[in-house]
Amino acid sequence: MSAQTQPWWRGAAIYQVYPRSFLDTDGDGVGDLPGVAVKMDHIASLGVDAVWISPFYPSPMRDFGYDITDYCGVDPVFGTVADFDAVVAAAHARGVRVLVDQVYAHVSSDHPWFSESRADRTNPRADWFVWADPKPDGSPPNNWQSVFGGPAWTWDARRCQYYLHNFLTSQPQLNLHVPAVQDALLGVARFWLERGVDGFRLDALNFAMHDPLLRDNPPAPDTGKPRTRPFDYQQKKWNLFHPDTPQFLERLRALTDEYDGVFTLAEVGDDDDNAWKKRFTRGDHRLNSAYGFDFLYAPRLTAALVAKVMGDWPNGADQGWPCWAFENHDAPRAVSRWCDPEARAPFARLKVALLACLRGNFTLYQGEELGLVQDDIPFEQLQDPEAITNWPRTLSRDGARTPLPWSDAPQGGFTSGTPWLPMSEANMSRNVTAQEADPASQLAFTQAMLALRKAHPALRLGDLLDCAVDGERLDFVRAIEGERLRCLFNLSDKALPLIDVAGDVLLAVNGARPDALPPYGALIVRV
């Protein structure tokens, strides 16, 4: 398949909007869908192919939208369904596709489906959730643990049974082994496809199905890494990655194929998830792409790590198509994880250059184009339930969710009220308006880097060849018929020499030259 006939999503750059923190238009301190529509010019100006909008559905917000009470509505804090339609129209008018989150593993305990299911054991939705009798001593049916701490089972007196929840107790697990549940979720997908969305990001897909025999998970070996939750002490053998999950994905793919150009992206997070990411995406009858946490929680960005991750996804149509992210709403800002404070500006440029040169799709999390840093949220202002439960050992997700600064106005121009999370001076100084006026800004560099990727099929669609690591020097080739680009990166804070680099330099980052890579330098050379 030639570059001209590839689907729009292959090699796409995707911008993630966390709507609570994007732009507030009504002064309540919480971002909303009208704010996304108002700032669609900013999103389009980056040169991205699509915008992924995190959940905006009705929710009690115990997990900030990932606990849904109505899959086919909009929470009033974000606006209305008409406001969502306006976002789609604004994006499409600018050539930007729209992806939305689909959360199929669980709902809110306030969802009408769960209210009916918990009423008794004989109602029409009695088996729509995972219910189990206690052991003879009254304890939970097995040893599974919740991601957010404590057992993954909560007792319900109405049914005199336990229900499963892999996250908060208020997020009961849907039973996707039941065909009627799958049918209902496919109906949800069709609802949003009919409203013009161009694809879905499928949240926590590895949690979608469980072992119906409810077998105990075995203990996890001690690797020496800190373990802050009971969840970390188990191998998730039976509560994740059920082998029937791909069959449901085939049903979803059959639905999306009824529409033109729909893209499906799986979130798959686990310690050893590459085989499942490929299983979820292999062939042309399952999902289009998948991403995991290879980089999102990595303590350091090293040449060896990048080479290993790229090696796990070799060239070839039968291997699936990967997607990469260095930051998102669940992971700390990369510039705060991966470099010293004094190196953040050059490192931010290097990071975006590398991300745009990797084989696959990639996502930019809102604020990443500005080089935003992780904010330090004091305990009394935390909103993140995981951080509150595991304080102080778990780094708060709130620190990456603070509002986007648009200008030097009060509250960074994000709101006329009090923002739902505090905003730091460090990030407000990196606001959009200031960077738009600075041709040397991180924003300008991000726009230039995405334009370069879009202009060169080798970067967007080509194979990744000849990957070599020498200390913290990373060297690989992106190649497609008619074009070969050599990409070199120095992932350290020390200068590195270069030899035998010949060709037309398309990009030189942080003072890089064909004979030298300064700290965090990068070169892209046509060879």
Phi, psi of 368 (to 5 degrees): -65, -35
Whether residue 509 sits in one domain with residue 442: no
- Given a cut of 70, whether residue 229 has pLDDT beyond it is yes
Residue 216 is part of which domain span? 3-107+177-453
Q: Cβ distance 320 to 314 under 8 Å? A: no
Whether residue 287 sits in one domain with residue 388: yes
- The count of domains in the chain is 2
Whether residue 492 sits in one domain with residue 377: no
> Is residue 198 included in any domain, yes or no?
yes
> Is residue 133 included in any domain, yes or no?
no
Model confidence at 320, pLDDT cuts 50, 70, 90, reads: confident
Q: Cβ distance 487 to 358 under 8 Å? A: no
First vs last C-alpha separation in the chain:
23
User: Residues 349-354: what's their mean pLDDT?
Assistant: 98
User: Residues 415-426: what's their mean pLDDT?
Assistant: 97
- Given a cut of 90, whether residue 438 has pLDDT beyond it is yes
Cβ neighbours for 171, distance < 8 A, ≥ 6 positions apart = 62, 63, 66, 67, 106, 107, 108, 109, 165
Of all residues in the chain, the percent with pLDDT exceeding 90 is 89
- Please identify, among 405, 421, 453, the residue that sits at the C-terminal boundary of a domain: 453
Cβ neighbours for 139, distance < 8 A, ≥ 6 positions apart = none
pLDDT tens digits, one per residue of 61-108: 999 999 999 999 999 999 999 999 999 999 999 999 999 999 999 999
> Is residue 125 included in any domain, yes or no?
no
> Is residue 166 included in any domain, yes or no?
no
Rounded Cα distance, 199 and 189, in Å: 9
Whether residue 502 sits in one domain with residue 395: no
Question: How high is the pLDDT of residue 392?
Answer: 74
> Is residue 425 included in any domain, yes or no?
yes
- Which CATH number characterizes residue 69's domain? 3.20.20.80
pLDDT tens digits, one per residue of 8-62: 999 999 999 999 999 999 999 999 999 999 999 999 999 999 999 999 999 999 9
If you search the block for the tokens 């992210």, which residue do you land on? 325
Question: How high is the pLDDT of residue 390?
Answer: 76
CB neighbours (10 Å) of residue 336?
Answer: 18
- Residue 421 CA neighbour count, 13 Å, CB half: 28
Question: How high is the pLDDT of residue 1?
Answer: 46
Whether residue 386 sits in one domain with residue 442: yes
Residue 174 DSSP label: B
Cβ neighbours for 217, distance < 8 A, ≥ 6 positions apart = 142, 143, 144, 145, 234, 235, 236, 237, 238, 239
Supply 10's token pair.
């292959």
- Please identify, among 397, 430, 453, the residue that sits at the C-terminal boundary of a domain: 453
Whether residue 471 sits in one domain with residue 404: no
Whether residue 446 sits in one domain with residue 332: yes
Question: How high is the pLDDT of residue 169?
Answer: 97
- Given a cut of 50, whether residue 122 has pLDDT beyond it is yes
Q: What percent helix, strand, coil does the chain show, rounded to 5?
A: 30, 20, 50
> Is residue 115 included in any domain, yes or no?
no
Task: State the DSSP string of 428-464.
Answer: HTT-HHHHHT-TTSHHHHHHHHHHHHHH-HHHHH-EE
Model confidence at 2, pLDDT cuts 50, 70, 90, reads: low
Whether residue 479 sits in one domain with residue 374: no
Question: How high is the pLDDT of residue 226?
Answer: 84
Sheet holding 97-102, edge to edge: 289-291, 263-267, 199-202, 97-102, 50-53, 13-17, 361-365, 323-325
Q: Which entry of 258, 318, 425, 500 is annotated as an active-site residue?
A: 258
Q: Which entry of 32, 75, 198, 203 is annotated as an active-site residue?
A: 203
Count of residues in the chain: 527
Whether residue 509 sits in one domain with residue 364: no
> Is residue 481 included in any domain, yes or no?
yes
- Which CATH number characterizes residue 511's domain? 2.60.40.1180
Question: How high is the pLDDT of residue 394?
Answer: 66
pLDDT tens digits, one per residue of 497-522: 988 899 999 999 999 999 999 999 99
Whether residue 377 sits in one domain with residue 295: yes
- Given a cut of 70, whether residue 4 has pLDDT beyond it is no
Q: Say whether 203 is catalytic.
A: yes
pLDDT tens digits, one per residue of 365-396: 999 999 999 999 989 999 888 888 878 766 67
Whether residue 384 sits in one domain with residue 293: yes
> Is residue 119 included in any domain, yes or no?
no
- Please identify, among 453, 478, 504, the residue that sits at the C-terminal boundary of a domain: 453
Whether residue 426 sits in one domain with residue 479: no
pLDDT tens digits, one per residue of 238-276: 999 999 999 999 999 999 999 999 999 999 976 666 888
Supply 152's token pair.
């993954």
